[in-house]
Amino acid sequence: MNQAASPLMNVDASAQRVQEVYEKQRQAYLKNPYPDYEERQANLQKLENILKDNRVAITEAINKDYGNRSIHETEFLELFGSIDGIKYCRKQLKSWMKPQKRHTSIWFFGGKNKVLPQPKGVVGIVVPWNYPLFLCMSPLANVLAAGNRAMIKMAANSQNLCRLLAELVNKEFGEDTLAILPGVSASDFTDMPYDHIVFTGSPGVGRQVMEKAAKHLTPVTLELGGKSPCIVAEDFDIELACERILQGKLYNAGQTCVAPDYVFLPESKAQAFIEHAKKIVPQRYPQLESKDFTSIIDSRAYSRLIQTLDDAKEKGAQIVNLLGDVLPSDELEKIPPTLVLDSTGDMTVMQEEIFGPIMPIKTYRDIDEVIEFINVRERPLALYLFSKNKPLQEKVIKNTISGGVSLNDVMMHVAQHDIPFGGVGNSGMGHYHGKEGFIEFSKLRPIFQQAPAPGTKYMVAPFGKTMEFMLRMMLGKR
């Protein structure tokens, strides 16, 4: 059980601390608004070394915050993903930083155009509890690569990790470059006039962050969530689909913003999917006490999931416990992997993002009804399709919209460093990862250099025949 959350600072101390660090970073930015390649590389290298050198301590801190977090999941989904992303930024940094030459119109012959990516300044990052390392380090790598300063607010449920990272970061970075702030309130943190804010969390809180940012006209990157649909087509092996879907769904006990939220199966294959799920889940998680099966983050989240199942059952859904007779554990705050059959739109399980090891199963006869079902709902953070049929893949992708897509697997698009990660509509806005992340946290500054003898020198008053001749040429007049 999560015993990690520590009391916040008092209101005055919290606001003062945030203001103090913000001013340090703002002044440092003004003194050095364009850190060179070597400085950025050094910052990324220090960040990478922190993670590599403190792997065990980081894993233990996250485990304490969760009560039980699978060590292997933390190393694979958080440490590896973070380190690999930093390495990718380091490898690509020189090419990303290069000024981009751009085409110059013939009417400005002799002039030159280029675009220079410049740091925005001070970036505030608000980190959620579900992947507290990866969802901190992934945007942070892009922020530092782009030459910015960063202030980080971690979740109250991640205070063991927060305190550890703050200590480790303070040894390697000055507060005027990077600061993790334990104990400060989200309200105080998001009050600052940052040059960019990154927020990962729920759509409701995302709206509040955006409202605060609007006071300063601060751009935001919002990574939210929603109900990410998964579709299995007739042509795809149902057992293989089941294995891959449940692998992704049950990572972190379903507490993943891009986890498949509900699954559409062909009517003829639904039973085969259910039977295979009953077979493989006990093999992967023989008992609820398994250290490989992560706990729900806290009692509040656990109770919400229990209520979601009770609501579905009361309204007529069939509940399939994939561990048989094993009951949820209040002590461990664990819920057996569960399928929900015959779900309807009035059930909580189909109205809210689940964020747990519970997955509704829906059936279909025609792919068009699936597309319609998805499109009348809020735009999801991810969409998954299991099919080898290229025309079907194209149809589903082009007739729906989501933050990202994985074909024939789930969640794996998030691990790709050269494609952007981000939401759309209710699931968010903006991107990070790869070059798009570097651009997100840069001001692409257009620069035009005039020719020594530009044609525009003839376009001055008093206007006469020369001007008329030039306008005929430019406008195509006869």
pLDDT digits (tens, 9 = 90+) for 89-131: 999 999 999 999 999 998 899 999 999 999 999 999 999 999 9
pLDDT of residue 429: 98
Distant-in-sequence, close-in-space partners of 397: CB < 8 Å, separation ≥ 6: 385, 405
Confidence of residue 11 (pLDDT cuts 50, 70, 90): low
pTM of the prediction? 0.94
Give the domain ranges of the chain. Answer: 11-225+428-444, 229-415
The answer to whether residue 223 is catalytic is yes
CATH topology of domain 229-415: Aldehyde Dehydrogenase; Chain A, domain 2 (3.40.309)
| Residue 257 among the catalytic residues | yes
| pLDDT grade for 334, boundaries at 50, 70 and 90 | very high
**Distance of alpha carbon 271 from alpha carbon 275, whole angstroms:** 6
How crowded is residue 253: how many other Cβ atoms within 10 Å of its Cβ?
30
Task: Give the single-character DSSP code of 379.
Answer: P
| Amino acid 460: pLDDT | 87
Q: pLDDT grade, residue 292 (50/70/90)?
A: very high
In this predicted structure, what is the pLDDT of residue 4? 41
Average pLDDT over residues 169-176: 98
- Give residue 3's pLDDT: 43
**Per-residue pLDDT for 1 more than 60?**
no
User: Ramachandran region of residue 430, left (φ > 0), alpha (ψ -120 to 50) or beta?
Assistant: left
What's 80's DSSP letter?
Answer: I
**Which is catalytic among the residues 136, 162, 230, 257?**
257
Instruction: Count Cα atoms within 13 angstroms, Cβ side, for 443.
Output: 16
| Sequence letter at residue 51 | L
Distance of CA 167 to the CA centre of its chain: 25
Q: What is the pLDDT of residue 12?
A: 66
Domain 11-225+428-444 identical in fold to domain 229-415: no
Show Cβ contacts of residue 446 under 8 Å, excluding neighbours closer than 6 positions.
102, 113, 114, 115
Q: Does residue 8 carry a pLDDT above 60?
A: no
Q: Looking at the predicted structure, is the pLDDT value of residue 238 above 90?
A: yes
SS3 content of the chain, % helix, strand, coil (to 5): 45, 15, 35
> How far is residue 384's CA from residue 260's CA, in Å, rounded to a whole number?
7
User: What percent of the chain is predicted at pLDDT more than 90?
Assistant: 90
The CATH fold of domain 11-225+428-444: Aldehyde Dehydrogenase; Chain A, domain 1 (3.40.605)
Mean pLDDT of 186-206: 96
Q: Which of 40-44, 451-455, 459-463 has the highest mean pLDDT?
A: 40-44
Indicate the pLDDT class of residue 455, thresholds 50, 70 and 90: confident
* 77: confidence class by pLDDT, cuts 50, 70, 90: very high
d(CA 195, CA 192): 9
Contact 274, 52 (CB under 8 A): no
From the list 48, 223, 333, 440, the catalytic residue is 223
Q: Region 317-333: what's the mean pLDDT?
A: 97
pLDDT tens by residue, 377-430 = 999 999 999 999 999 999 999 999 999 999 999 999 999 999 999 999 999 999
